[in-house]
Amino acid sequence: MYEIRIHGRGGQGAVLAGGILATALVLEGKFVVAVPSFGFERRGAPVASYLRFDEREIRQMTNIYHPDCVLCIDPTVPRAVNVFEGIKDGAVLVQTTAKPLGDFELPREVATVGLCDAVSIALDIFKRSITNTIMLGAFARTTGLVSLDSLRAAIQKSDFRDAGLKQNMAALERGYESTQVRQIVREAAA
Partner 1 sequence: MKRQAYNMFDASTIPDDLSPIATKLTPMLPGDWRSMRPVVDRAKCVKCAVCWLYCPVQCVVERPAWFDFNLKTCKGCGICATECPQRAITMYEEAA
Partner 2 sequence: MSAILKPKSKLIVCDGNEAAAWAVSLANVDMVAVYPITPQSSLVEYLAKFIADGRLGAELVDVEGEHSVLSVLQGACLAGARTYTASCGPGLAFMFEPYMRTPGLRLPLVMTIVTRDTLTPQSVWGGHQDAMSVREVGWIHMYCESVQEVLDTTIMAYKVAEHHDVMLPVNVNHDGNYLSFGAARCELPEQSDVSAFLGEKNVNWHVALDPQRPMAVDPLTGGAGGPGPSTFVRYRKGQCSGTQNALKVITEVHEQWGRCFGRYHAPLIESYRMDGAEYAIMTIGSMTGAAKDAVDEARERGDKVGLVKVKTYRPFPVQALAGALADVKAVGVVDRSVSFGWNCGPLFQDTIAAMYYTPRRIPAMSFIGGLAGADLTVGHFERVIRRTAELARDGQPAETVWLNEKD
Q: Which residues bind partner 2 (CB under 8 A)?
A: 15, 18-19, 22-23, 26, 31-36, 38-40, 58-63, 65
Q: In angstroms, rounded to a whole number, what is the distance separating the alpha carbons of residues 106 and 50?
A: 21
- Here's the x/- map for partner 1, 124-153, by CB under 8 A: it reads as -----x------------------------
**Region near partner 1 per CB under 8 A, out of 25-33, 75-83, 152-160, 164-172:** 75-83
**Region near partner 1 per CB under 8 A, out of 85-93, 100-108, 116-124, 169-177:** 116-124
- From partner 1, partner 2, none, interface partner of 125 (C-beta below 5 to 8 A by class): none
- From partner 1, partner 2, none, interface partner of 33 (C-beta below 5 to 8 A by class): partner 2
- From partner 2, partner 1, none, interface partner of 44 (C-beta below 5 to 8 A by class): partner 1
User: Does 123 contact partner 1 by CB under 8 A?
Assistant: yes
Q: How far is the CB of 46 from partner 1 (least distance, A)?
A: 9
